[in-house]
């Protein structure tokens, strides 16, 4: 069903739209995480450029944190398909695995989702409080294999849960002593690691970097296939825990299926221009984000289909541990 939906969506030809569309009232933007999330930073940066160049475009952000973006998607996917409500999901959870991990909470199906374009990406990182004995991924695996005390890691989204489980499997860690602590937003994870309330956390680099630079937490590892230029010496987790390299945060625009092609065209054109601007690229860079390359529905659904192929088998394997 999902592949059929992707095929139908990919066949939409934006260039064939003969009618122009411009917003005439504010657009509500649903973000399923607490204020300050990577989703919000990514969107607000691009939206500011769109508003500056389109006097009629006004965006009103509504934060609806809970269940890895599911609460906001349950709501926004039932709204009219008129372009006046959009959602900014985190891809791995919303598009690939949340229906496996939390089937009783997810009220939408893949046919209720219309991914339009990606905005930015940011690697995930593992941070530790300053008094932790762990400084590298290898030390983390050794520590988790034989912990001498209870250990906890703060997580926010299901992508972090996959990373946590990969570390447990690789280290053969003691599940009775190593526990995850769920949070509604990554800024809360970073704050609690800095405050010494939890020892480890995993979150996007975009959110962790300010506390790393301020010397409040230690940066243990980063996901992705290359080191971010701002942290050229940070260990890549992929080098120690193979299979984690693709686990990066991706944020983009989702509309309600049935949205007219001319409306989709407006989003692709205007946000595409924003992503090409030096101003947006600089702000993304300063926030440890990278402008996404998939900037139309066909490209975006291909990325999502690859994610589903990669992560759904992993989610099926570890779903028994979700919430423990």
Residue 145's contacts (CB-CB under 8 Å, 6 or more residues apart) are: 171, 172, 173, 174
Q: How far apart are CA 77 and CA 46, in angstroms?
A: 22
Cβ proximity of 253 and 119 under 8 Å: yes
Q: How many CB atoms lie within 10 A of CB 155?
A: 23
In tens digits, what is the pLDDT along the chain, a chain of 324 residues?
A: 455 444 445 444 444 444 689 999 999 999 998 888 889 999 999 999 999 999 899 999 999 998 889 999 999 999 999 999 999 999 999 999 999 999 999 999 999 999 999 999 999 999 999 999 999 999 999 999 988 889 999 988 888 888 888 888 888 888 888 988 888 778 899 999 999 999 999 998 988 999 999 999 999 999 988 899 999 999 999 888 887 766 888 999 999 999 999 999 999 999 999 999 999 999 999 999 999 999 999 999 999 999 999 889 988 988 887 765
Domains delineated in the chain: 2-121+250-319 (3.40.190.150), 123-240 (3.40.190.10)
Integer CA distances (angstroms), 83 to 8, 24, 134, 309, in order: 19, 11, 48, 29
Query: Quick one: pLDDT at residue 13?
Result: 44
Cβ proximity of 228 and 290 under 8 Å: no
pTM: 0.84
Query: Quick one: pLDDT at residue 214?
Result: 97
Q: How far apart are CA 117 and CA 267, in angstroms?
A: 8
Question: What's the token pair of residue 111?
Answer: 């046919």
The residue count for the chain: 324
């Amino acid at each position: 069903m999902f592949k059929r939906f992707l095929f139908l969506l990919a066949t939409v030809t934006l260039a064939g739209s003969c009618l122009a569309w411009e917003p005439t009232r504010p657009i509500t933007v649903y973000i399923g995480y607490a204020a300050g999330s990577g989703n919000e930073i990514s969107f607000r940066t691009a939206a500011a450029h769109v508003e500056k160049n389109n006097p009629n475009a006004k965006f009103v952000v509504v934060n609806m944190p809970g269940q890895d973006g599911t609460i906001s998607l349950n709501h926004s996917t039932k709204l009219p398909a008129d372009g006046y409500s959009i959602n900014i999901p985190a891809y791995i959870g919303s598009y690939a695995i949340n229906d496996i991990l939390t089937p009783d909470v997810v009220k939408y199906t893949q046919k209720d989702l219309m991914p339009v374009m990606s905005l930015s990406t940011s690697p995930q990182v593992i941070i530790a409080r300053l008094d932790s004995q762990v400084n590298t991924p290898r030390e983390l695996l050794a520590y988790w294999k034989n912990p001498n005390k209870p250990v906890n890691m703060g997580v926010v989204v299901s992508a972090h849960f996959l990373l946590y489980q990969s570390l447990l499997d690789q280290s053969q860690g003691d599940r009775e002593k190593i526990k995850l602590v769920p949070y509604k937003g990554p800024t809360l994870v970073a704050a609690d690691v800095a405050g010494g309330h939890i020892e480890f956390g995993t979150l996007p680099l975009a959110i962790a970097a300010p506390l790393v630079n301020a010397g409040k937490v230690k940066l243990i590892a980063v996901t992705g296939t290359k080191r971010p230029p701002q942290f050229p010496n940070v260990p890549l987790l992929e080098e120690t825990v193979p299979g984690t390299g693709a686990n990066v945060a991706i944020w983009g625009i989702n509309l309600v299926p049935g949205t007219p092609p001319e409306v989709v065209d407006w989003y692709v054109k205007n946000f595409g221009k924003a992503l090409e601007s030096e101003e947006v690229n600089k702000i993304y860079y300063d926030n440890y984000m990278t402008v996404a390359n998939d900037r139309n529905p066909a490209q975006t659904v291909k990325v999502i289909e690859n994610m589903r192929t990669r992560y759904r088998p992993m989610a099926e394997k570890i779903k028994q541990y979700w919430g423990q």
